[in-house]
Amino acid sequence: MDGILNVLKPPGMTSHDVVAYLRRVLKTKKIGHGGTLDPDAAGVLPVFIGSATRLLEFAVEGRKQYLVEIALGRQTDTGDDSGMVIKTMPVPALQHDNVVRVLRNFTGALMQMPPMYSALKVNGQKLYTLARKGISVEREARPIEIHKLELLHLTEASLTLAVECSKGTYIRVLGEDIAAALGTCGTMSFLLRTQVGGFRIEDSFTLQEITADPAKCLAQPLVAVSHMQRLELTARQAARITNGVRTTVAGTAAGRYALLGPAGEFLGIGTCNEEKIQVEKVFFRYLMQED
């Protein structure tokens, strides 16, 4: 089987658990997921199968959307409810308008420090492996971008946010930083990922649904690169480009494109420089018909 599954990951499973489960169900070894979700989190987890795994590196470039609840007044070592409480603080009386003003400081381009409880590797070791041994290492802050940060609900002890962000954003850390800016501490008590690039939660499938009919749940490969600009090719251009010939497509701006054939079929990924297209990955090799 080749294709992509938009999995509705349940809480309590790691992203690796989901892949291991589907590997058994689909009886395949060539399988991987795009964008790790914390074990306690739920929501969209794209899983790539067979030849579609070649799209993984492009799929994780799209924006991500979340619904998150931040519990105020306590902080855990993991940044979520699965960890041990390491700090408590009183929560000041918060007004809606004041919280909205604080949130504005967390939109746009930011630098964020990755948490110790993460899959990020330092010197070849995953940080969460070190954290479980009680080891803390120096990390470098990384650039992220928060495109949208909306206050949905506010109580005396929590706030619920809608977040749209770039890849590499740790929502747990964002919650801790927001709580600190509000004069207290906080930890993530709920997280639902509602979108990864072109994969939306309303189009996702549970593991039970996938087990019952995997083929019915497959998404088209083009969904994985929906954030990428598209370039429609003529039959001659498609044949040349997908067979490795660097080809001029007049008027095309520099950049990376999802390449489409004359009938709208997804051919692969290509880059344009000085109006010349060079293929990066081919998924359908186009052959011109003889007259």
CB 271 within 8 A of CB 218: no
Instruction: Find the catalytic residue in 38, 40, 177, 203.
Output: 38
Distance CA 193, CA 35 (A): 10
CB 73 within 8 A of CB 180: no
* Phi-psi domain of 248 (left: phi exceeds 0; alpha: psi -120 through 50; beta: other): beta
Distance CA 99, CA 234 (A): 53
CA atoms within 13 Å, Cβ hemisphere of 117? 18
Distance CA 13, CA 167 (A): 21
17 classed as catalytic: no
Handedness of CA 251, 241, 219, 256 (dihedral sign): negative
Task: List active site positions.
Answer: 38
